[in-house]
Amino acid sequence: MTSIYSFKVESIRGELIDFSAFKGKKILIVNVASECGLTPQYAQLQDLYTEFKDKLTVIGFPANNFGGQEPGTNAEIQTFCSVKFGVGFPMAAKISVTGKDQHPLYQWLTQKSANGLKDSEVSWNFQKYLINEEGQLIRVFEPAVEPCSEELIAAI
C-alpha cells in the first residue's frame, strides 16, 4: 500500500501539485464539474478550505465523466471557478475519474488493494475522498454529502 504522497499531478494552471507538500494536513479530494446540479458545492468547498486552512487542503479535480457536465478547457474551468465561486483552493488539470482512462490517482483512491481502506466507485460529480495527515485514505463521502455537513466536518 502506498500513500498519496507518491502522487504528483498537473494543476489547472499547468504547474505541479506534489501531494508530499501536504504532509501533516488532511486532504479532501473532490471531482468537480461546472454544469452539475451539485456545482454550488464549490462555495462550501471554498468555505471549508478557508475555515480549516491550517489543517486541511481541498483539491478539486475537474472531470467530464458524468453527463458531459464539465465540457470546458482548463482555462475556462479556472475562470468559472474564480469568478462564480471565488475558488482559492488548488485545482488540478481536467482528468478522467472513471473508465479505461481513469487517472492513476483515482485508481489509488478507488482500489482497496492500493489504498488499504476500501474499494469504491466514483458515482457522480462531487464525490469526496478524505486523506489523513499520514497520507492514507480514511473516508469516502457520496456526492450528496455537502462539504460543510456535520458528518464531513466531524471527520476533519
Query: What's the pTM?
Result: 0.97
Fold (CATH) for 4-155: Glutaredoxin (3.40.30)
- Kindly list the domain boundaries of the chain, sorted by start residue: 4-155
**Pick the catalytic residue: 4, 12, 36, 59?**
36
CB 140 within 8 A of CB 120: yes
Catalytic residue check, 36: yes
What is the predicted pLDDT for the residue at 28? 98
pLDDT tens-place string over residues 126-156 = 999 999 999 999 999 999 999 999 999 999 9
What are the DSSP calls for 27-76, one per residue? EEEEEE-TTSTTTTHHHHHHHHHHHTTTTEEEEEEEB--STT---S-HHH
Count the residues in the chain. Answer: 156
pLDDT tens-place string over residues 2-21 = 899 999 999 999 999 999 99
pLDDT tens-place string over residues 58-95 = 999 999 999 999 999 999 999 999 999 999 999 999 99
Question: What are the CA-CA distances from residue 41 to residues 47, 77, 149 (Å)?
Answer: 10, 15, 11
